[in-house]
Amino acid sequence: MKKLALAGLVAVALTAACNQTKTPETATAGPNTAGADATTDLDGLFGSYWETQSRLDPLSATGQGDNRYNNLLPNEQTRAFRDTLRTFYGDYLTRLGKFDREKLSDNDKISYDIFKYEMEQRLAGLKLNTWMIPTQQFWGLPITMGQYGAGEGVQPFKTVQDYDNWLGRVRGFTAWTDSAIANFRQGMRTGVVLPRTLVLKMLPQMRGKDIVVSDPAQSLFYGPITRFPKDFSAADKARLTDAYKTAITAELVPAYRKLGDFLEKEYLPKARTTSGITGVPGGAEIYKYYVGYWTTTTKTPAEIYQTGLAEVARIRGEMERVKTETGFKGDLKAFFTYLKTDKKFMPYKSAEEVLDAFRKIQTTIAPNLKKMFGRTPKTSFEIRQTEAFRAASASAEYNQGSPDGSRPGIFYIPIVDATQFNTTSGMESLFLHEAIPGHHYQISLQQENNDLPKFRRFAWYGAMGEGWALYSESLGKELGLYTDPYQYMGALGDEMHRAVRLVVDTGLHSRGMTREEAIKYMMDNEAISEDGAVAEIERYMAIPGQALSYKTGALKIQELRAKYEKQLGSKFSLPNFHDELLKDGVMPLAVLEKKMDAWAARQK
């Protein structure tokens, strides 16, 4: 999964529009659309929209390399702000309708269709009651604060102004915390609450040993002070050191402690025992929205469930074949246990050895990438270990680089205990998905395309974005990987994982499947530890529908490739197909198919 997203959300689009981050000023005054009425062309409309949206969402602006609002932190937990969003998106949808789509260029038609879809989705999201659940264990502002403020993420710490900017964001966290608690309490009164098991996972996040500290120098947020640029004066260093110690002691620690105490003493007793979102009032409609939002399709939960069952059966057959190839005696479940527990699959002694193994994968595929892609990113790339404060509950993820090249794309790997890191966990397929040619290629090429309006350069649609990353896993053999049957089994396990998601996500949220039943189904069909299955299922409980995007999108991309290979025959070029697929950025799947059909027609 990509992540600003896990800075919470590498550009993860809003789950429901009200979850975007906003400035305190605009939360009360409304969006500044001065001059927007004067726009007479589509580019002007999109530019006006993006300027206002960047002010409304300063954290995402920072992640996109727009540093104008780096001192602002949202309090997006107010009704006034949700009203602001409703007016803002409705206004731009109305303005878009004044353009005659049929008179637009082909690329502008794509922009028109994406923008219309986006505004309608955001308005629909504002009708949900999910604002009563401001954060959970998988993503949310308390987690994002740690990623931005540690000094090694997207928040820049290069100048004295950068350091002062972060203090501005810290000052907003107390107000956000108070408003979030008020919204949680509203949810307690109406039954819109998180499952108890998720709340239990949030408590240690709020009370981490580098979050709630008595010595500010031991805080995660003290990181920037330990890495002052060399050109800072002694006076600036002294002032900022004192200011950061005060911010940690007087603002951050009390805010996290207050939120943690509230969750434990007030919220936990009111948390629900049900697993699916249908356990809250309006849950069926919420899930319907999320399914459409994450898959960008009109598929029903029942249809997706059946697709999942079929994919699980198909992949299971291939797993049986590979098991036989290895000579293993026993059934598939026994093979899973063997893969999970045999010490020969856990050769690492240190985190650095794990990172080196991923670097070797990058070296292996490098010569073959040129045969499959005509365009490659200019953005640099790094492999890093996930920060300790969130490693236990984090998945491997990609954080995009900045469009200007000042910050690399980063592939983060959580390594809690290197001696338990298993080579059969799908290391090769994981790299293809999260790093190259998955998220790093797709996101970087999109951001680097200056011909796209900014709302497209920095867009995120999970079905295409995660679909591309999962499709990238299927390229392993063509890229020189999966030569070892155990690594290929790991790749099959990753594909099975996404197929299982179709079953358990729809099962949890539309078919009454319990957390325990979902965990068992996952463990019966893939080589995953119980702890791993628990973390995954609880992720789906926290963000309904998101897990459906991967397989839905990958199946569509594979379907398109097969269709054009058949249609074009010798005229089909895989590099050209990949370049066309990626050059215009992510978009809803129906828009993508229309665009790719037009490309295929031109090839004839």
> Looking at residue 554, what is its pLDDT?
98
Per-residue pLDDT, 11: 30
**Tens digit of each residue's pLDDT (9 = 90 or more) over 77-122:** 989 999 999 999 999 999 999 999 999 999 999 999 999 999 999 9
**Local structure of residue 77 (DSSP, 8 states):** T
pLDDT band for position 30 (cuts 50, 70, 90): very low
pLDDT value at residue 27: 32
Which of 26-40, 297-311, 402-416 holds the top average pLDDT?
Answer: 297-311
CA atoms within 13 A on the CB side of 604: 11
In a domain, 84, yes or no: yes
Short-list 16, 515, 8, CA closest to 285 = 16
Q: Is 581 inside a domain boundary?
A: no
**Structural domains counted in the chain:** 3
User: Are residues 532 and 410 both part of a single domain?
Assistant: yes
Q: What residues have CB less than 8 Å from 274, skipping those under 6 apart? A: 195
> For 25-29, 301-305, 314-318, 438-442, which range has the lowest pLDDT when averaged over its residues?
25-29
Percent composition of the chain: helix, strand, coil (DSSP 3-state, to 5) = 65, 5, 30
Per-residue pLDDT at 23 exceeds 80: no
Which whole number is the average pLDDT over 112-133? 96
State the pTM of this model: 0.87
Specify whether 299 is located in the same domain as 407: yes
Q: Cα–Cα distance between 12 and 62 in angstroms, integer?
A: 14
Give domain status of residue 12, yes or no.
no
Domain boundary among 93, 128, 163: 128
Question: What mean pLDDT do residues 499-519 have?
Answer: 98
pLDDT of residue 9: 32
Query: How high is the pLDDT of residue 395?
Result: 79
Of the candidates 266, 253, 272, 148, the one whose C-alpha atom is nearest the C-alpha of residue 208 is 253
Where does the pLDDT of residue 279 fall: very low under 50, low under 70, confident under 90, or very high at 90 and above?
A: very high
Q: Is residue 559 part of a domain?
A: no
Contacts of 248 (CB under 8 A, 6+ apart): 213, 216, 219, 221, 222
Is residue 12 over pLDDT 60?
A: no
Q: Tell whether 332 and 192 lie within a shared domain.
A: no
Residue range 56-66: average pLDDT?
91
- Widest pairwise Cα distance in the chain: 73
Rounded to the nearest integer, the mean pLDDT of the chain is 91
Q: What is the DSSP string of 557-573?
A: HHHHHHHHHHHHGGG--
Burial of 192 by CB count in 10 Å (0-12 exposed, 13-18 middle, 19+ buried)? buried
Q: What is the pLDDT of residues 465-480, one digit of tens each?
A: 999 999 999 999 999 9
Q: Of the ranges 3-7, 136-140, 326-330, 415-419, which one carries the lowest mean pLDDT score?
A: 3-7
Assess whether 249 and 368 both reside in one domain.
no
Together in a domain, 464 and 336: yes
The residue among 512, 516, 497, 509 whose CA lies nearest residue 543 is 509
Whether residue 5 is predicted with pLDDT greater than 60 in this model: the reply is: no
Query: Which pLDDT belongs to residue 388?
Result: 80
Is the residue at 535 inside a domain? yes
Question: CA nearest 132: which of 213, 58, 193?
Answer: 193
Please give the pLDDT value at position 130. 94
> So what's the pLDDT on residue 406?
81
Amino acid letter, 142: P
Residue 169 reports pLDDT greater than 50: yes
pLDDT band at 391 (very low <50, low <70, confident <90, very high): confident
Q: Please tell me what DSSP assigns to residue 278.
A: G
The answer on 77 and 175 residing in a single domain is no
- Dihedral angle over CA of 555, 580, 481, 501, nearest 10: -30
Is 215 part of any domain?
A: yes
Q: Which of 500, 523, 549 is the last residue of a domain?
A: 549
Angle (CA) 339 542 550, round 5°: 60
What average pLDDT does the segment 175-187 reach?
96
Q: Is residue 15 part of a domain?
A: no
Q: How confident is the model at residue 1 (pLDDT cuts 50, 70, 90)?
A: low
Q: Are residues 168 and 251 in the same domain?
A: yes
Q: Which domain holds residue 117?
A: 21-128
User: Which region among 176-185, 390-399, 445-454, 475-484 has the lowest average model confidence (pLDDT)?
Assistant: 390-399
Indicate the pLDDT class of residue 7, thresholds 50, 70 and 90.
very low
Residue with token string 């397989």 = 551
Q: What's the per-residue H, E or C state across 6-74?
A: CCCECCCCCCCHHHCCCCHHHHHHCCCCCCHHHCCCHHHHHHHHHHHHHHHCHHHHHHCCCHHHCCCCC
Q: Measure the CA–CA gap between 546 and 542, rounded to whole angstroms.
A: 10
- Per mean pLDDT, which range of 54-68, 261-275, 311-325, 583-597 is the poorest? 54-68
Last residue of a domain, which of 86, 102, 128?
128
Q: Is 596 part of any domain?
A: no
Sign of the torsion formed by the C-alpha atoms of 324, 329, 332 and 338? negative
Q: Is 186 found in the same domain as 100?
A: no
Residue 433 token pair: 């998905």
| Main-chain dihedrals φ then ψ at residue 410, nearest 5 degrees | -125, 125
User: 152-156, 302-306, 411-415, 493-497 — which is least confidently predicted?
Assistant: 152-156
Residue 366 and residue 502 in one domain: yes
- Regarding whether 121 and 159 lie in a shared domain, the answer is no
Same domain? For 214 and 323 the reply is no
Predicted confidence (pLDDT) per residue in 555-578, tens digit? 999 999 999 999 999 999 999 999
Q: Under DSSP, is residue 283 helix (H, G, I), strand (E, B) or coil?
A: helix
**How much of the chain, in percent, has pLDDT values that exceed 90?**
86
**pLDDT number for residue 392:** 75
- 155 and 52 part of one domain: no
Give the model's confidence band at 354: pLDDT under 50 very low, under 70 low, under 90 confident, else very high: very high
- pLDDT of 446 over the 80 cut: yes
Q: 220 is written with which tokens?
A: 């995660």
Taking alpha carbons only, the member of 541, 476, 479 closest to residue 508 is 541
pLDDT-derived band of residue 402, with 50, 70 and 90 as boundaries?
A: confident
The residue that leads in pLDDT, 425 or 602, is 602
Q: Is 50 exceeded by the pLDDT of residue 381?
A: yes
Torsion angle of alpha carbons 310, 315, 317, 323, nearest 10°?
A: -160
Compute φ and ψ for 397, nearest 5 degrees: -155, 165
